[in-house]
Structure 1
């Protein structure tokens, strides 16, 4: 919920008598950080950044992530990324309704309806091996209120596959283009469409791809103007950028 919506709710509460002035003042001035001991969860991030805080699962224990979901599941929608299967199983045992996307390694819980905005984010992958990053991006886009779709395996090794889907790709408001190896797909699409492109290099590829570094450098030096690039395998970061563009 953005800050203006929260203030309207508080003011309406005073108007209809469900809130007194002192309680309303406390809600406005109150601490928006929930301290769980091991984690301080930021509830006011949507009002500042336009999207909620997200739990980064890597490096956390299943118990820590389970505690976060258990304590906050009724207060806000929750998204965790880079979630291992054993972590997902633990959290699901604590909270009914939690959904695990094994391919994208995301864990989600929806307690409040997601308010979808107009405009579609199209996620395009060079190969099937990039789908894990694509799913992370897709789930993040959906949780932030963006309609999204994945078109996979249309890389430059068989460029005709891309041309067959070009009409659909051009309808999107924002594009997330995901590729490993040399990362050429972002440049190719950048020369074919007029929409904003966020390129995601992936760690897919043989030894000389240097775990995604070749794709990263290829995307950064793209001759297609206006291509923005996020970090290697960072589907989440690309989705956050796409969300901000789609909000404009």
Structure 2
């Protein structure tokens, strides 16, 4: 049950149109809807401001589609992360208005926009190879109601590219920095701005990067204050955290 469902129920109650059956129908899925293989948290939007998001990796296609089908009944926004094109094509069969973001690997069914925040979130990537994770963060933040500015391929191998685009960082309320290899860009950015920096290590790099562990440790050991670090390749987590910070500013 989302906020609109509750408003309708209260309006019906006020106008003496509500029935016992309708109340039972709306309350039946408290605190979640049990599909046997999944328990869908329809009330997450009431608690957290954004609906539950489907993490598609590791789920069978049949189960993903069943979750989408049930979520569509009670949610105006249904989003799936780590979704490939095959998943999207199946989703389109039950939701022709679904959209797909190739780089981010996100599908989105958006029947209604979520409330919009005022501040800007900057998403910065060190290299072009980091763009898929950066896009997961950027699209997540946009879907959740934020304006996003992208600044890609400005890593420390050519740091002048960052310095020539400082206006993007200065106007942002939150900065997400996505970097693989040694992950140094997050420390550089955090030393230049007076706002929260969310660092995202990626699994991009040669053997000694250890699939992102090197970048993760660099970010965790940063000498620049004000850095928050999410897990390797977790663009979604960074976009969500940036949204929550931005929302605090009204």
- Check the 8 A contact 2:42/2:71 in 1, yes or no: no
1:92–1:126 distance in 2 versus 1, CA, 3 Å: same
Q: More deviation in 144-153 or 218-227?
A: 144-153
1:99-178 correspondence runs (5 A): 99-178=99-178
Matched with 1:67 is: 66
Q: More deviation in 112-121 or 123-132?
A: 112-121
Q: More deviation in 6-15 or 224-233?
A: 6-15
Q: 1:184, CA displacement in angstroms?
A: 0.6
**TM-score normalized by the length of structure 2:** 0.90
Aligned residues: 247
Q: 1:48, CA displacement in angstroms?
A: 1.9
Residue aligned with 1:107, SS: strand
The 2-side partners of 1:190 and 1:238 are apart by 15
Matched with 2:223 is: 223
The 2-side partners of 1:210 and 1:30 are apart by 44
- Check the 8 A contact 2:99/2:109 in 1, yes or no: yes
Matched with 1:206 is: 206
Matched with 1:49 is: 48
User: What do the CA deviations read for 1:40-84 (whole angstroms, capped 9, x no partner)?
Assistant: 110111222232211010011122112222232242111111112
- Check the 8 A contact 1:50/1:244 in 2, yes or no: no
Q: 1:223, CA displacement in angstroms?
A: 0.6
Q: 1:100, CA displacement in angstroms?
A: 1.4
The 1-side partners of 2:168 and 2:102 are apart by 27
Q: 1:10, CA displacement in angstroms?
A: 3.7
1:25–1:40 distance in 2 versus 1, CA, 3 Å: closer
The 2-side partners of 1:185 and 1:2 are apart by 40
The 2-side partners of 1:236 and 1:19 are apart by 40
The 1-side partners of 2:7 and 2:91 are apart by 34
Matched with 1:13 is: 12
Residue aligned with 2:116, SS: coil
User: What do the CA deviations read for 1:118-152 (whole angstroms, capped 9, x no partner)?
Assistant: 11111000001001001111111112111112210
- Check the 8 A contact 1:104/1:136 in 2, yes or no: yes
**TM-score normalized by the length of structure 1:** 0.91
- Check the 8 A contact 1:63/1:90 in 2, yes or no: no
